[in-house]
Amino acid sequence: MSTVQTFCVATASILLLPVFTSAADTNPIYLDGKRPISERVNDLIPRMTLDEKVSQITDDWGSAAIPRLKIPALLKTEGLHGQSYSNGATIFPHAIASAATWDLPLVNRVGQAVGQESKAAGIYQTWSPVLDVARDARWGRIEETFGEDPTLVARMGVAWINGFQSQGLIATPKHFAGHGAPEGGRDSNDIGLSERIMREIHLVPFRAAFEEANAGGVMAAYGTWNGVPDNASTDLLQGILRQEWGFKGMVVTDCDAIQHFISKHAISTNADGATKMALEAGVNVECGTVWRKNIAGAVKRGVVNETLVDNALRPVLETKFRLGLFENPGPARLNWEKIPAYDTPEHRALARQMATESMVLVKNQNKILPLAKNLKTIAVIGPNAAQVQLGDYSARPVEDQLVSVLDGIKSHVAQGTQVLYAPGFSWQNPNDKSGFDEAVNIAKQADVVVMVMGDSSSSSSNMSRIPDTTGENRDGATLTMPGAQSDLIKAVHATGKPVVLTVVNGKPFVFNWEAENIPAILITWYAGEEAGNATADLLFGDRNPSGKLPLTFPRNTGQLPLTYDYKTSGRSYDYYDQPFSPQFRFGYGLSYTNFKYSNLQFAPSPQNPAQVTVTVDVQNTGTVAGDEVAQLYLTDPVASVVTPIMQLKGFQRLSLNPGETKKATFQLTPYDLSLLDVNMKRIVEPGEFRVHIGGSSPEIPGTGNGGRAQGENQKASVGFKDPSQGISGQFNVATPYAARFVYTLTTPPKIQGGAEFMATMTVKNAGNLTDITQADLYEGSKIASRRFELKPGETKSYAFPLTMYKAGAATLSLTGSDQLVSRAITVAKSPARLRLGALKTQVDDDGVVSVSTTATDVGSEAYKGQLVLMVDGKATTSRALTIQPGETQNVELKYAAQRNGNLKVQLGNLTEQNIQVPGGIGMTWGDGLLLSLPFNEGTGATAKDLASGKTFDIKGTPRWDAQSLTISDGAFVPVGGINLANRSFTLATWLKINQLNNGQIGIFGGRAPMGAGQNESGSTLHAGIRDGKLQFGFFGRDVAGQAAVPTGRWVHLAYSYDSTINQGTLYIDGKQDTQKDQLPYMGALETIGTTPQMQGGQFALHDLAVVGGALNQANVNLLSEKGAQSLGAGTYQTEWRPLKGALSTLQAWADIPAGSRITATIEVADASGKALDSKTLPLVSGATSLPLTGMKPGAQVRVRLDLQAAKGATSPRVGSLILKGDGLDARWITPSQWKKGVAAGGVSVDAN
């Protein structure tokens, strides 16, 4: 197979301008679905402004739509175990639970189901699955992973991605790479992983995801590799990802990772540097605000070339074209509500099946399980019995969606069985033992006790803040069960009643006492919405346990990191006070039946002796049907480098009836047998290989000999002590395997100096093993390089466009794998050529645009010519240049802007750039009136929004008073999810407090889904009153008021957030109370009358409004006095400008939404201010030039603008205003010019 690609060596060539076609074309190429995607992208990018480009490569729940160009949105979700950005989507078991099934077809079906629900919601991308290989059990995010083994993670990841992408969507696995081995288990604290560890462990699942499943995206991790943050690593994002693996999709950052270059990694002091690093490394989409706020300025300042922005943009647009979104666009905004495709009976059944298969029985002494359904009394005890722990990145459950273990047990037992329940303690106060007596009392009454203990993570009680014990940024220093759980278990055990311990967990626990004393232990993980039914299915024998541990359970936290595939020690293994071995080993899990392994056979391929078919017979020797997971582990007994004691290389799930025997078949490839030698070359060394196949990983050699491992060679002793658990054998490979690369370089023998030509390197793998190589291209010094991964017999080519200038003989050389290939080239003499450097732009306070660059003559003759500055396609000014051969000059040209907004600037043959001239006036409410609830219904259970015309149901029992709604007894108004993410807004209402709840009430509330950002952005919205004062925050980023809010009377409150300066401001009765820096909120407004952190109390609301802009004090006063609609009208009066004669024209640029209007009144006066003439003219959207001939001359002139917005519309605005006449060129373009006038009503001056 041969492939040819093109790479531009930017240092050796001049980039040519793409052909620009007007966006007004009726049939542009990019909208023609029959044209190749590359042509469509090439046609679209030049049509886009810089701000539009930035909107595509910055995340706002996905990549935004651009209606002007008919570019669709690409919405995303965090689909780890369901469509998480929703209410009521199916909540499947978390990833660690799905890994415990070891069932690839089932995982594929779940991926399909998540894809179906996502697509039904108009979401075409998921930021999942997590392909981190979890190497430290203290890490809080283990619940999101597929476990500790690279093969298991890879197989699970490929199955899930194939399922999800089968629905015409793209998966974005994360976190690339090495994220699963944090130092001390602390999230994102990478330990400086070596290239060997990365390639042996952490890169394995990602390689499979891209080479086998063709995943369409990838998220780079927060951490570092080789001292460089992953989001700035060209080695990871270019060399490995795009070159070795051929990835062509989108690279997204983890949220705020680019900001971390400055605030955490300290590799840059400013946003310009951080922006450039990420773009040059190959990031395509930022989750965060650095690019959104900084790219345009960095391009203007010449720090970032717009070509880098285009390079980042290209895969985003290619993805939208490939998904067919231009032809069939989905919604532009996320729909947070439950839709019919969510949680169908088929998907609920699938969730239950996965939950049942995932649960791992690790102890069943005296076969206490399964329980009889007709027991007289069962006690159910524990903090997780009556609520369902879901784990991070879960959909929000709707009423009756979740089934708790208590519910499941009640629905499974016989009619006469009494089920008693006591929590023992609550997660709000996990060390409180006051509930122990109740728990012990019901245990004494029971025939058996089912204890439901474990972790807390994003529980079903989602409107209260329950402390999480696992999850993102919830890492534990120990692995003991949190709070007083162990004491509660011991207290119940002391009653003498049989205890079944059901563990709800997101990571392993250390529970040595429990493992020794409790007769039955069932690991259930975060099992999703059907957790209770699935648990009961196993407890009562409706289903047979079949899950296997995807993680090692240690005996002590001090053993960590502890994984089954450890490398042999230079000395001992044990501690002086306990053995090295784990409590429960990787792959372990019991059944209600027994299995036997026999007849292990090896069949090497005659043509390829390292391609080995391995078979084994598996028999169900028990009396009930069951599933067994046959697992194949490989040991390389003697190697030239240290290798793991064993490695999982395959697994197969088998369903067996009593007495039935089935043959499990595995294929071992040369790649499976290979290792990385001392030179990091992949080889298969001739010799013996040992294979172990069983229902778990084989036992490690016996330890405990005074702190020393028994036996000198651990590898030789690995196996199964109990033959019924597994079988071992060996085979030999006599043939060595390695790649052998052959390189060729193709160039023309003669070229014209200054003319581009192609140099093509070709690499063939003439060996018998897949491996990677790097080929470097030299012309004196190294000018380019390329990595390749090639299978045996595969050929790949890569073409570099190059340009040479110096006349005479030249030599190009290619090196790789100790080979040197050279080609002689004759370069003909070239005439003078002008090469321009990066374009730098700047706009001063008067709207003068300065454009500068460097000009170099790269020919052999002097250059003479004109350098022309083009603005919006028209020549504006020029400069004559005379440059000697090899000389570089600094060149600057200036242009007085005729309007603000986006200008297209081109200097010479440089790529056209978009610059932004700030300024203008518009309505203070920015994006318009988002919500207006007067609460004047007086009766009923609904409230009408005057902004949208929607009617909202009021939850609870509303109480109406004179033109107001009283909130009490848990009543609140759900408002459907008004997007406030990363935007300015103001929340305002008239309020009358009748009674506070512990000094607090909640007025405006909402949540951001998981993944909104963990460090630089907020995940919950709460605006209300705490301790009798205003409180406005986004979960830990609060602005607290200073003055007490009056009670017993009506008071007007406003909470304002300005995203342009990250500032929150509080107002009471129109007066500023507090102002403080505040980072952005990342979610939606969801409720009126309650918040995630503040509930209760009794209070009345009237004239409540949510405005899409940050109101100042004057506007807040206007809002309180005249209502929300008053903000949609206002005036702007310019200052007087001198006039020497008659006026000729008024030129303006305006944006006027449908239903809105703007009029301009021109007033002429004499020197004393006496009015001489006036004229009122309507403005239209876009550029306007209106004649003013016939107006009387005077000594001074000014303009009044009247703005009126349609109800709820975005702001009408005027960008620029120019008056021309005799000796007059009066301009209002930049903020400094607009600020000389006076704005009134709802009008304000734009700062940018």
Q: What is the DSSP string of 1091-1127?
A: -SS----EEEEEEEEEESS---HHHHHHHHHH-GGGG
Residue 961 vs residues 159, 936, 968: alpha-carbon distances, Å: 58, 9, 13
SS3 (DSSP) at 110? helix
CA-CA-CA-CA torsion sign (679, 680, 684, 685): positive
Cβ-based neighbour number of residue 952 at 10 Å: 18
Residues 557, 479: Cα–Cα separation, whole Å: 6
Strand 1129-1133 to 1196-1204 pairing:
antiparallel
The helix (H) or strand (E) run that includes residue 259 is helix 257-263
User: How many other C-beta atoms are found inside a 10 Å radius of the C-beta of residue 722?
Assistant: 8
Of 500, 494, 254, 315, the closest CA to residue 1010 belongs to: 254
Q: Give the list of residues 6+ apart from residue 30 with CB closer than 8 angstroms, or none.
A: 40, 41, 43, 44, 47, 326
> Distance (Å, rounded) from C-alpha 273 to C-alpha 625?
63
DSSP code of residue 796: E
Tokens 């033992």 belong to residue: 433
Task: Say which residue the tokens 């930021």 belong to.
Answer: 127
Identify the residue whose tokens are 């028209």: 874
Cα separation, 17 vs 27, whole angstroms: 22
Task: Identify the CA nearest to 549 among candidates 651, 408, 663.
Answer: 651
The answer to whether residue 254 is catalytic is yes
Task: Using only the alpha carbons of the chain, give its radius of gyration.
Answer: 35
Strand pairing class (913-917; 901-907): antiparallel
Helix or strand run (H / E) with residue 378: strand 377-381
Q: How far apart are CA 312 and CA 54, in angstroms?
A: 10
How far the first Cα of the chain sits from its last, in Å, is 53
CB atoms under 10 Å from CB of 975, counted, come to 24
B/e letters for 825-840, b = 16+ CB within 10 Å, e = fewer, are bebeebebbbbbbbbb
| Bridge partner list, 870 | 875, 906
Catalytic one of 59, 136, 149, 254: 254
Which structure tokens are listed for 139? 């890490």
Residue identified by tokens 């699942």 is 205
- The structure tokens listed for 402 are 């979740």
> Both tokens of residue 76?
């995303």
Q: Taking a C-beta distance cutoff of 8 angstroms, is the pair 720, 693 a contact? A: no
Active site amino acids: 254
